[in-house]
């Protein structure tokens, strides 16, 4: 189910819950079957962020990813794991917001992108007090 969902995302599926709720065997099957490189573009668009930022965040080579997309090749297994990890994180946020209240108007992909991009003061590296 996850593998077919990854391949058919351009068909309008905007919920990431399926990735969060997927059983580990389905995720492994999807990764071994190959995550299309085009999924990165779709994920960046869903997150409302640049593909360059997403590639850097995931630790992907822009050139290699673009080449794979152009040649209709899948991502490597490691890249596939990272992409599905991001999709699962977005799905987890969707589930949490849905279970805790009214998700109307809330965009989990946009929220996750903003959360990852904005510095968090409590985690900032500061010098210890003397």
What are the pLDDT tens digits along the chain (130 aa)?
A: 566 666 555 444 478 999 999 999 999 999 999 999 999 999 999 999 999 999 999 999 999 999 999 999 999 999 999 999 999 999 999 999 999 888 888 999 999 999 998 877 666 666 655 5
Beta carbons of 74 and 68 less than 8 angstroms apart: yes
Token pair 């992108």 is found at: 113
Q: Where do the structural domains in the chain lie, given as residue ranges?
A: 2-115
Tokens of 120: 């968090």
What DSSP string runs through the chain? -HHHHHHTGGGT----HHHHH--HHHHHHHHHH--BTHHHHHHHHHHTS-HHHHHHHHT--HHHHHHHHHTTPBPPHHHHHHHHHHHHHHHHHHHHHHHHS--TT--HHHHHHHHHHS--GGGS--PPP-
pLDDT of the residue at 11:
46
End-to-end CA distance of the chain: 56
pLDDT of the residue at 10:
47
């Amino acid at each position: 189910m996850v593998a077919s969902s990854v391949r058919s995302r351009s068909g309008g599926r905007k919920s990431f819950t399926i990735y969060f709720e997927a059983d580990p065997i389905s995720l492994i099957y999807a990764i071994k079957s190959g995550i299309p490189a085009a999924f990165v573009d779709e994920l960046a668009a869903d997150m409302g962020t640049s593909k360059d930022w997403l590639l850097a965040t995931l630790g992907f080579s822009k050139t290699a990813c673009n080449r794979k997309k152009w040649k209709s090749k899948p991502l490597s297994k490691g890249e596939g794991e990272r992409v599905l990890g991001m999709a699962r994180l977005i799905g987890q946020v969707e589930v949490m917001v849905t279970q805790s209240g009214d998700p109307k108007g809330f965009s989990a992909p946009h929220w996750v992108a903003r959360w990852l991009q904005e510095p968090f003061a409590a985690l900032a590296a500061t010098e210890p007090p003397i």
